[in-house]
């Protein structure tokens, strides 16, 4: 494996965390690496300077016409970079492989990999699996689309460790040989259509998670998802299937029975924990708990430690994260809700009246499916950013009388404080990407929390 990339000419597109990590990994393996970023040099000097000191060529300020030629053996792209940009199209025309960092990192992983994907719930489920395994005394490292890039951790892991990886459709679309020992698909709803263009491409990208699995591997699937059931019945799945479901029992999987989270594997049914003891709020989080339980059992976690983790795990930052109670009003940060389905999930998680803060990048989404949920669950809408006008229109169609448009999240928090009443919940669940105003959903969520704390 050590000479796999020896003297290979590799172009890494993007100086984000995964690009930095894979460039360092490749140069250590003897590759000749060029990193290219569209940002000006002054904006990426902190990343570029250390790479050049390692002998990596760094080109900033755009994509030169001669960046890709027949001398290039491989292109590794930042997952978020679209395929229509010139250097990727040039590579594909020359039949040069274009992959993501996940593909490269997995080739150097001695540790078996747990791959977790889905339109929603990935981060919570991945984090929960990591904690269930660690609490059971099982060595597990969490990485991928959360925290560290895979290339940062794979060189340090052994065959006795588990690598628990959150994986996006962007990452999986660029995989060829990637093979997780345990692969989990949580759900599939329309998302990132500006990137994938079609639902078919989005689903196929998710399904890449399973493409190289064998009968020795495990697929964890959502029995309540029609797409998961269809994919499992397609005849293309070679791995052993374990189901999770909140709606029905199964002979092989984890489900709810008589108010208990229950597992049934190989004829051995075990009641694990009463549903009422689950610390995470909402039905969607119950699905995440079921999925994490199934994954962790298959990875060797202890049932009692799984139950203990479920009782105590209260969530992940920016994922329906409780922030503060002020004058009888609870504030929740769900900044990770970057699509309509994620926002719908958040809005249906509360019985209390909701003051909903939403908005962000306008991707041409019409938000019409939100209308009935707004009518039933939301008493006020505070919209900001590029999508504010269309969100305000949908709120009006839902019969909501209190509709406010503001410039940013900070102003939205102050408006929410003014109009909310004792017993309400204020929820930042944007239904949009952050990039019109903020660098990331994390930055957006942090600004929300800071503004809430200033109210105190």
pLDDT band for 75, please (50, 70, 90 cuts): very high
Residue 162 falls inside a structural domain: yes
Rounded Cα distance, 90 and 63, in Å: 11
**142: which strand partners?**
164
How confident is the model over 107-163, as pLDDT tens digits?
Answer: 999 999 999 999 888 989 999 999 999 999 999 999 998 879 999 999 999 999 999
C-beta separation of 360 from 386 below 8 A: yes
Residue 181 falls inside a structural domain: yes
Q: Are residues 127 and 62 in the same domain?
A: no
Rounded Cα distance, 68 and 298, in Å: 43
Residue 1 falls inside a structural domain: no
Q: Are residues 115 and 199 in the same domain?
A: yes
Angstrom CA distances, 106 to 73, 185, 271, 275, 296, stand at 18, 19, 35, 36, 20
Domain total for the chain? 3
Q: What is the CATH number of the domain that holds 417?
A: 3.90.190.20
Q: Check whether 393 has a pLDDT greater than 50.
A: yes
Residue 191 falls inside a structural domain: yes
Residue 2 falls inside a structural domain: no
The domain in which residue 153 lies consists of: 103-312
How many of the other CB atoms lie within 10 Å of CB of 164? 32
Q: Are residues 293 and 383 in the same domain?
A: no
Q: Check whether 37 has a pLDDT greater than 80.
A: yes
Q: What is the CATH number of the domain that holds 24?
A: 3.40.50.720
Q: Are residues 300 and 334 in the same domain?
A: no
Give the domain-ending residue among 312, 344, 369.
312
How confident is the model over 293-341, as pLDDT tens digits?
Answer: 999 999 999 999 999 999 999 887 888 888 999 999 999 999 999 999 8
Q: Are residues 298 and 379 in the same domain?
A: no
Give the domain-ending residue among 312, 340, 375.
312
Give the domain-ending residue among 96, 121, 153.
96
**Inter-axis angle of helices 122-135 and 283-298, nearest 10:** 40
Average pLDDT for residues 386-394, to the nearest whole number? 96
How confident is the model over 358-385, as pLDDT tens digits?
Answer: 999 998 899 999 999 999 999 999 999 9
How confident is the model over 247-261, as pLDDT tens digits?
Answer: 999 889 999 999 999
Q: Check whether 2 has a pLDDT greater than 70.
A: no
pLDDT band for 392, please (50, 70, 90 cuts): very high
Residue 340 falls inside a structural domain: yes
Q: Are residues 291 and 333 in the same domain?
A: no
Angstrom CA distances, 33 to 72, 95, 102, stand at 10, 19, 17
Q: Are residues 289 and 349 in the same domain?
A: no
Angstrom CA distances, 312 to 142, 196, 306, 318, stand at 19, 37, 10, 18
Q: What percent of the chain has pLDDT over 90?
A: 79
How confident is the model over 163-200, as pLDDT tens digits?
Answer: 999 999 889 999 999 999 999 999 887 666 566 668 78
For the chain, give the number of residues: 456
Average pLDDT for residues 48-67, to the nearest whole number? 93
**382: which strand partners?**
357, 404
Q: Are residues 36 and 109 in the same domain?
A: no
């Amino acid at each position: 494996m050590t000479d796999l990339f020896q003297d290979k000419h590799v172009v890494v597109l993007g100086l984000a965390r995964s690009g930095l990590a894979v460039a360092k990994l490749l140069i250590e393996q003897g590759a000749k690496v060029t990193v290219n970023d569209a940002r000006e040099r002054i904006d990426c000097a902190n990343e570029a300077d250390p790479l050049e000191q390692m002998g990596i060529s760094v080109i900033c300020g755009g994509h030169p016409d001669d960046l890709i030629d027949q001398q290039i053996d491989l292109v590794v792209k930042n997952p978020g970079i679209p395929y229509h940009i010139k250097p990727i199209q040039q590579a594909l025309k020359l039949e040069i492989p274009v992959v993501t960092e996940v593909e490269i990192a997995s080739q150097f992983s001695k540790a078996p990999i747990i791959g977790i994907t889905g339109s929603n719930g990935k981060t919570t489920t991945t984090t929960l699996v990591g904690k269930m395994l660690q609490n059971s005394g099982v060595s597990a490292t969490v990485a991928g689309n959360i925290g560290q890039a895979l290339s940062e951790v794979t060189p340090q892991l052994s065959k006795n460790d588990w690598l628990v990886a959150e994986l996006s459709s962007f990452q999986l679309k660029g995989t060829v040989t990637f093979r997780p020992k345990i692969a989990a698909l949580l759900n599939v709803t329309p998302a990132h259509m500006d990137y994938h263009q079609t639902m078919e491409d989005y689903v196929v990208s998710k399904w890449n998670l399973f493409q190289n699995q064998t009968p020795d591997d495990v697929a964890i699937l959502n029995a309540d998802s029609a797409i998961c059931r269809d994919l499992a019945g397609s005849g293309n799945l070679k791995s052993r299937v374990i189901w999770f479901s909140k709606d029905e029992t199964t002979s092989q999987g984890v489900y709810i029975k008589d108010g208990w989270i229950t597992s049934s594997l190989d004829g051995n049914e075990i009641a694990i924990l009463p549903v009422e003891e689950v610390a995470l709020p909402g039905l969607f989080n119950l699905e995440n708990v079921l999925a994490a339980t199934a994954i962790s059992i298959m990875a060797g976690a202890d049932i009692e430690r799984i139950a203990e983790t479920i009782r105590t795990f209260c969530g992940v930052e920016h994922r329906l994260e409780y922030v503060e109670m002020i004058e009888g009003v609870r504030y929740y940060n769900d900044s990770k809700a970057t699509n309509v389905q994620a926002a719908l999930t958040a809005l249906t998680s509360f019985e209390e009246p909701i003051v909903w803060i939403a908005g962000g990048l306008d991707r041409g989404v019409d938000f019409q499916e939100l209308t009935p949920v707004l009518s039933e669950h939301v008493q006020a809408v505070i919209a900001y950013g590029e999508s504010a006008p269309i969100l305000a229109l949908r709120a009006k169609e839902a019969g909501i009388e209190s509709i406010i448009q503001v410039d940013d999240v900070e102003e939205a928090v102050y408006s929410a404080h003014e109009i909310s009443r004792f017993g309400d919940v204020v929820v930042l669940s944007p239904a949009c990407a952050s990039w019109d105003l903020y660098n990331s959903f994390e930055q957006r969520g942090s600004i929300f929390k800071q503004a809430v704390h200033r109210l105190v």
